[in-house]
Chain A
Amino acid sequence: MSRKFPKAADYGLAVCPTCAMVSPVTEGRCPRCGTHLHLRKPASIQTTVALMLAAAALYVPSHLLPVMTTMELGVVTHNTIIKGMMTFWNTGAYPIAIVIFTASILIPLLKIGALTWLCLAATGKVHPSPTALGRLFWLTELLGRWSMVDIFVVGILVSLVQLGNYMSITPGPGALAFAGVVMLTIFAAMSFDPRLLWDRLDEMTDDPAPETPTETET
């Protein structure tokens, strides 16, 4: 009895995450580059869920606390991310308002939602449908980095707008919280193992692993 598509893990083979060489997992470390070998990322779901919950918890203060504080002619204004976006929208700068909305509000939420869905699918709570969800996973890894744009904007504005009493900008506590959200979601996506979706699909469609590992030579 054998699968239509044989898996490396069925033969005790692990693919190196750094150099992509396939070697027996019993080697411990990749003989080519020395990276630790695992058949699947260890504790993938648990790590992803933990990091994702931490990110979700930080998401609230990151939007409630000011990311920067502007002092203009003695008048102090606290700016949250949403307030900054609304300013652009109200002055008619729609494209840039949409960019900020996507990068700082939508992408972190989508990422948390997508990772929840992926973890549910990988544990069999919902149908795995790995082709579609694999694309979703690829998209979350691709988009996550763009949320850092807000942190870079804070750095640029704080550095540039130091005009003494006329106008100055200082970073607020929201910036650190938001950077935390972005970093945690990036690490959460990195710790998720998309191969678990295919494992779950094979279990569901009764395509069991071969009874005894066969020879790998062809």
Chain B
Amino acid sequence: MKRGFTKHLLARESWPEPPGGPRKAACHFCDTLHDGGPVAECTAARCARCGGVLYQNRPASLARATAFSMAALFLMVLVHTYPFLTMDAASLRRNLTLIGSATALIDESEPLLGISIILFTMVAPLVLAGGMIYVCLPLMAGRAAPGARTVAKWMYRSEPWNMVEVFLLGVLVSLLKLAKVADVHFGVGFWAFSGVMIFMAAAVAGIDREELWDRLEVAHT
């Protein structure tokens, strides 16, 4: 059993051919039709007309996507446990948490803004990292988890709404705004969220969208 698991974990099976052989590929920017054939690892297929990337073959794609997503998910636990900033002013100590910045706006009768913070900094990264693990981990053993296609669809839909890096910039701007009125320190939450940003970017870049869908198609359900 252990040997089998290690075999899957280290498996670097290359991009499988989709059922029915290589397919047509069309550029998202100019709609030029290409014959989509396999490309070598670490290279990309580009559009002959506009130069946009059609798809790219990433090395050890499933292992990378899963590992980076797991790291991001683990750091998300720290993000919600420890404060981002600690402020000492007027003999009072205030802690900033991610959920705190959202609930403060909801309490101050701006529920739409609070909900948008929850969606962009908590829900979208969670759907992205969780969905990636749910889809890619069983794929390493050549299996598709139940409902994996629906999860993959929502994962890619949530991707543009993942605003971890923008929130981090917001923390820095707030720190500079408060620096002259109070004593402000970074907390573990801030560094953990920086890690989430890096690992999420690595996980999304780790596997090409088309490769993930091709693998889902050939996988056993």
Query: Using a CB–CB distance below 8 Å, which chain A residues touch chain B?
Result: 5-11, 13, 15, 17-22, 32-35, 84, 88, 91, 93, 96, 99-100, 103, 130-131, 134, 141, 145-146, 148-164, 166-167, 170-171, 175-176, 179, 183, 186, 190, 194-195, 197-199, 216, 218
CB pair A33 B113 closer than 8 Å: no
Judged by a CB distance under 8 angstroms, whether B85 is at the interface is yes
Judged by a CB distance under 8 angstroms, whether B3 is at the interface is no
Top 8 A-B residue pairs of the complex, sorted by shortest distance between their CB atoms: A152-B170, A159-B104, A155-B101, A8-B26, A15-B26, A198-B30, A19-B213, A156-B174
Tell me, in angstroms, the Cα distance from A145 to B170 when the chains sit together.
Answer: 12
Cβ-closest chain B residue relative to A159: B104
Number of chain B residues close to chain A: CB under 8 A: 65
Judged by a CB distance under 8 angstroms, whether B43 is at the interface is no
CB pair A160 B178 closer than 8 Å: yes
**Which B residues lie within 8 Å of A167 (CB)?**
89-90, 181
A163 CB contact (under 8 Å) in B89, B113, B167, B217: B89
Contact with A along B193-221 (1 / 0, CB 8 A): 00000000000000001100100010000
B217 CB contact (under 8 Å) in A32, A84, A130, A199: A32
5 contacts between A and B (CB under 8 A): A5-B49, A20-B28, A154-B105, A194-B30, A195-B28
CB pair A179 B116 closer than 8 Å: yes
Judged by a CB distance under 8 angstroms, whether B39 is at the interface is no
The A-contacting residues of B in range 116-174, CB under 8 angstroms, are: 116-117, 120-121, 149, 152-153, 156-157, 160, 163, 166-167, 169-171, 173-174
**Which B residues lie within 8 Å of A145 (CB)?**
160, 163, 166
Judged by a CB distance under 8 angstroms, whether B25 is at the interface is yes
Tell me, in angstroms, the Cα distance from A161 to B83 when the chains sit together.
Answer: 14
**Which A residues lie within 8 Å of B163 (CB)?**
145, 148, 152
